[in-house]
Amino acid sequence: MRFEEELVALLPRLRRFARGLARHPSDADDLCQAAIERALKSRDQWQEGTRLDSWMYRITRNIWIDERRAAGRRGVHSAIDDAATQVVGDGAAEVEAGALRGDVDGAMARLPDDQREVVMLVLVEGYAYREAADILDVPIGTVTSRLARGRETLMHYLGEAA
């Protein structure tokens, strides 16, 4: 299959991944667009016979992380992400968790970036730990520990999932 055709076939899944990272549909599609443009520009770097999906996910994720870091440097800061780091059960957090029951977007937004991307790759996109580690270019132990923390936070906010 041609490179472009394979990419087109991949788009629905890629949009899902981007939606999990960027949350807002239009931001997610902007992210996909940037990823496609970069992929077309650097298509020579993709080795035929290797998985195009992993390569695309890596590009998408790298653009997203770069943007988040740049936004952080500019002082555009999400208060939500700060709140995420302290999930322990004081009264306010319990109330907040109650309000979020069933709100997957809200709960995901409260995960730090590095946990959110692992949750998306493994729990939603269905990648094996090894594959997720390759996409993110981190050791497999980092994947499992981020995943464990991400899960704990999500279970806290979403409660006993329906």
Q: Which residues contact 147 (CB under 8 A, 6 or more apart)?
A: 115, 118, 119, 122, 123, 129
Among 27, 129, 138, 142, binds other proteins (CB under 8 A): 129
Measured from the CB atom, is 87 or 147 closer to other proteins?
Answer: 147
Torsion, Cα 37 38 42 45, to 10 degrees, reads -130
Which one of 55-63, 68-76, 80-88, 122-130 is the stretch in contact with other proteins (CB under 8 A)? 122-130
- In the shown chain, the binding pattern of residues 17 to 46 toward other proteins, with x for contact by CB under 8 A and - for none, equals --xx----x---x--xx--xx--xx-----
d(CA 11, CA 102): 27
Q: Is 82 in the site for other proteins (CB under 8 A)?
A: no
d(CA 131, CA 121): 9
Q: Is 61 in the site for other proteins (CB under 8 A)?
A: no
Among 42, 99, 128, 137, binds other proteins (CB under 8 A): 128
Residues 146, 116 contacting (CB under 8 angstroms):
no
Residues 121, 114 contacting (CB under 8 angstroms):
no
Q: Is 99 in the site for other proteins (CB under 8 A)?
A: no
Name the residue with tokens 């269905």.
126
Residues 111, 153 contacting (CB under 8 angstroms):
yes
Among 1, 76, 88, 161, binds other proteins (CB under 8 A): 161
Amino acid (1-letter code) at residue 156 = H
Among 27, 124, 138, 142, binds other proteins (CB under 8 A): 124
**Positions in the binding site for other proteins (CB under 8 A):** 4-5, 7-8, 11-13, 15-16, 19-20, 25, 29, 32-33, 36-37, 40-41, 102, 104-105, 119-120, 122-124, 128-129, 144, 147-148, 151, 154-155, 158, 160-162
